[in-house]
């Protein structure tokens, strides 16, 4: 049994090491699953779940990148069969780029159905779909163009001479996902998932509507996890993610340790490290209380 556990962990490491590229998306994606994988909606041993994320980068160079995300979902069992369940949830995203030069707001709804084909409920197959509305805007007045330079000096009051179709873009997107989880034993769980987006063509730039309305934005996500509970207090998880979007691919691999100081109370502390291949190492710290995650 020990050899099997080590082998599963090594497989995740080897798969992630063979595919290199630029990572796109959240590092802590497992805390905001509805946004990228609708099959995870209501996918857990809970009645409801609330998750929040906050990210801030490059504040010291006056080009701040900040993102706030919030999601909530519920699990409803006993639908058609006693072991099956529905999941429904909503998510919100507020993203500010370059000190508010560009902003993105997104709201979505996700729905999933979870099937347990065996009477012991060790296997679970989940299918999900989500629909979201994305609003993007850019402040052209904060941008600087070559025509505003007189020699080596910037003249911000001089007209840029640039023409833009709009400073706002509105889009709809449709995503689908499928996942599989397996309870190997009371201490060991593993799972894989696949999700895809871009089923609705959308506008991708602010310069010309005709140049981008028919742009095919396609995105694929493949993920895997392996978790082992050493004791009621200590657990370990490994995560792997492969993402491909519009010809760009990326890989992420991470390891998280979880500690519950009071096994009788629903408090869990998390600490881990992620590797965005060809990009950086990212530390992770988390806190969960009952059905709330941060």
pLDDT, one tens digit per residue, over 1-47 is 444 443 333 333 333 333 333 333 566 667 778 888 999 999 888 88
Nearest to 210, CA basis, from 219, 218, 201? 201
Query: Is the pLDDT at 251 greater than 70, yes or no?
Result: yes
Can you read off the two tokens belonging to residue 244?
A: 């491909």
Q: What is the pLDDT of residue 200?
A: 81
Total domain count, the chain: 1
Instruction: Among 66-75, 133-142, 182-191, name the one with the lowest average pLDDT.
Output: 133-142
Residue 94, strand partner residues: 68, 105
What is the pTM for the complete model shown? Answer: 0.76
User: What CATH number corresponds to the domain at position 196?
Assistant: 2.40.160.40
Number of H helices, E strands in the chain: 3, 15
52-88 residue pLDDT tens = 888 776 666 566 678 888 999 999 877 777 788 999 9
Q: How confident is the model at residue 179 (pLDDT cuts 50, 70, 90)?
A: very high
Question: How many Å apart are CA 261 and CA 252, to the nearest integer?
Answer: 29
- 85-97 and 102-115 as β-strands: parallel, antiparallel, unpaired? antiparallel
Range of the domain at 52: 2-293
What average pLDDT does the structure give for the chain?
79
Mean of the pLDDT values across residues 91-118? 87
- CA nearest neighbour of 192 among 247, 123, 258: 123
pLDDT for 259 beyond 80: yes
């Amino acid at each position: 049994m020990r050899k099997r556990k080590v082998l599963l962990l090594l497989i995740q490491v080897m798969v992630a090491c063979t595919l290199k590229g630029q990572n796109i998306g959240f590092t802590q994606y497992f805390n905001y699953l509805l946004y990228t994988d609708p099959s995870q909606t209501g996918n857990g041993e809970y009645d409801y779940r609330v998750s929040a994320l906050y990210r801030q980068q490059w504040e010291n160079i006056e080009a701040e990148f900040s993102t706030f995300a919030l999601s909530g979902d519920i699990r409803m069992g006993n639908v058609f069969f006693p072991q099956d369940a529905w999941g429904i949830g909503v998510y919100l995203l507020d993203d500010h780029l370059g000190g508010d030069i560009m902003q993105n707001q997104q709201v979505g709804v996700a729905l999933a159905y979870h099937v347990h084909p065996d009477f012991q409920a060790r296997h679970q197959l989940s299918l999900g779909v989500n629909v979201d509305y994305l609003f993007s805007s850019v402040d052209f007045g904060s941008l600087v163009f070559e025509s505003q330079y007189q020699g080596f000096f910037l003249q911000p009051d001089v007209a840029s001479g640039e023409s833009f179709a709009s400073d706002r873009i509105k889009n709809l997107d449709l995503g689908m996902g499928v996942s599989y989880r397996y309870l190997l034993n009371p201490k060991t769980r593993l799972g894989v998932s696949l999700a895809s987006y871009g089923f609705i063509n959308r506008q991708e730039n602010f310069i010309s509507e005709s140049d981008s309305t028919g742009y095919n934005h396609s995105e694929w996500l493949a993920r895997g996890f392996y978790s082992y509970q050493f004791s009621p207090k200590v657990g370990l998880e490994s995560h792997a993610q492969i993402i491909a979007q519009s010809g760009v691919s990326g890989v992420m691999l991470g390891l998280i340790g979880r500690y519950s100081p009071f096994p009788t109370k629903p408090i869990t502390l998390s600490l881990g490290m992620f590797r965005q291949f060809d990009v950086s190492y990212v530390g992770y710290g988390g806190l969960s209380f009952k059905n709330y995650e941060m």
